[in-house]
């Protein structure tokens, strides 16, 4: 028989925003269950860039991704949330009294007073590098979970977004050399990061694409086709990091009866979706003027939790008070 777990708040997504939501719910005295398809907390940060420095959180000048996740989890754990990790939230139904009933991929049923979806970009898969896919995990990678693996290597980074530029900057400190190849002359990354890149000593090759990879068992060469040049440039490389972005997918969430805007969930000013007692916060949400920053997601999930609390008990105040008042 499938296990049934009863809780006040079910949070779907145990990334940074979900973890802060668990703290916020706990502060209000609400029991919380966090569900995530990944086997660990932290979402994209843990899966993709645990060693990347994060600098856009208020009062945190800079901290590694894993440090941010550890601090958020410690904050949440003060209120003893239940973690159901490595399982996907599949279906949503409602009980006769309106409580959301969510069934997970392992058959577990969560009976919640309210649901808050903080699933980031949903499930994500990397955009592949057309050339040299046969070298995947043999020099070619799409993630850098441990930068030290690239110590004293000649590393080629492919891409022009924030991830590509950030990894080029991070790896230049430990690699023998770092070269960045981007198919355009303009970068999508933050302007300050691009300025830092140009001053960093990283070799930058723009208006170019990786045509092919070569090697004996592991990658040893990259042939780069530069616009306007007849012959490709041959680069000796020990590692290729293809940071070309990700393809996101909301998966089963598309069947939950929520209004969607492409691959995001439409919410109102209370962070409520069009599904009864279902809220959403973080990158997965969409509304006019939306800014996708982790710090914005923290405010959104606090708004969602407090509005959910009032929906569960209309006698409660929307404003929970300050943590300094709690003693």
The per-residue DSSP string of 4-59 comes to EEEEEEEEE--SHHHHHHHHHHHHTT--EEEEESSSSTTHHHHHH-TTSEE--BTT
Dihedral sign of CA atoms 16, 14, 45, 254 in order: negative
The per-residue DSSP string of 262-297 comes to TTEEE--TT-B-SSTTEEE-STTEE-TT----HHHH
Is 49 annotated to bind ligand? yes
Is 44 annotated to bind ligand? yes
Is 231 annotated to bind ligand? no
| 307: helix, strand or coil | helix
Is 283 annotated to bind ligand? yes
The per-residue DSSP string of 219-256 comes to --EEEEEETT-SSPEEEE-SEEEE---EEEE-GGGGGS
Cβ atoms 284, 119 nearer than 8 A:
yes
Question: Exposed, middle or buried, 277 (CB in 10 Å: 0-12/13-18/19+)?
Answer: buried
Phi-psi region of 172 (alpha: psi -120 to 50; beta: other; left: phi over 0): alpha
CA distance 109 to 157: 43
Is 111 annotated to bind ligand? no
Is 303 annotated to bind ligand? no
Q: Which residues are annotated as a binding site for FAD?
A: 36, 44, 49, 89, 124, 283, 324
Q: Which residues are annotated as a binding site?
A: 36, 44, 49, 89, 124, 283, 324
């Amino acid at each position: 028989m499938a296990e049934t777990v009863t809780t006040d708040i079910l949070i779907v997504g145990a990334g940074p925003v979900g973890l802060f939501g668990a703290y916020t719910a706990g502060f209000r005295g609400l029991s919380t269950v966090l569900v995530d398809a990944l086997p660990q907390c932290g979402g994209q940060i843990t899966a993709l860039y645990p060693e990347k420095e994060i600098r856009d959180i208020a009062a945190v000048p800079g901290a590694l991704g894993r440090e941010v996740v550890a601090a958020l989890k410690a904050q949440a754990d003060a209120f003893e949330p239940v973690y159901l990790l490595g399982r996907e939230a599949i279906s949503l139904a409602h009980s006769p009294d309106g409580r959301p009933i969510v069934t997970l991929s392992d058959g577990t049923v969560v009976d919640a007073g309210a649901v808050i979806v903080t699933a980031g970009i949903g499930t994500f898969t990397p955009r592949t590098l057309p050339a040299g896919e046969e070298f995947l995990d043999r020099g070619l990678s799409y993630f850098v979970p441990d930068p030290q693996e690239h110590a004293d290597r000649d590393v080629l980074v492919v891409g022009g977004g924030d991830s590509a530029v950030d990894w080029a900057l991070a790896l230049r400190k430990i690699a023998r050399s770092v070269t960045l190849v981007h198919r355009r002359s303009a970068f999508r990354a933050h302007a300050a990061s691009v300025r830092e890149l140009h001053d960093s000593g990283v070799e930058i090759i723009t208006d170019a694409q990786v045509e092919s990879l070569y090697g004996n068992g592991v990658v040893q060469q990259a042939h780069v086709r530069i616009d306007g040049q007849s012959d490709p440039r041959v680069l000796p490389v020990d590692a290729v990091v293809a940071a070309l972005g990700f393809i996101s997918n909301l998966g089963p969430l598309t069947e939950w009866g929520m209004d969607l805007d492409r691959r995001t969930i439409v919410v109102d000013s209370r962070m409520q979706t069009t599904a009864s007692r279902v809220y959403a916060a973080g990158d997965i949400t969409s509304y006019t003027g939306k800014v996708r920053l982790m710090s914005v997601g923290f405010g959104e999930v606090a708004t969602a939790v407090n509005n959910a609390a009032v929906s569960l008990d209309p006698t409660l105040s929307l404003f929970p008070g300050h943590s300094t008042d709690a003693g």
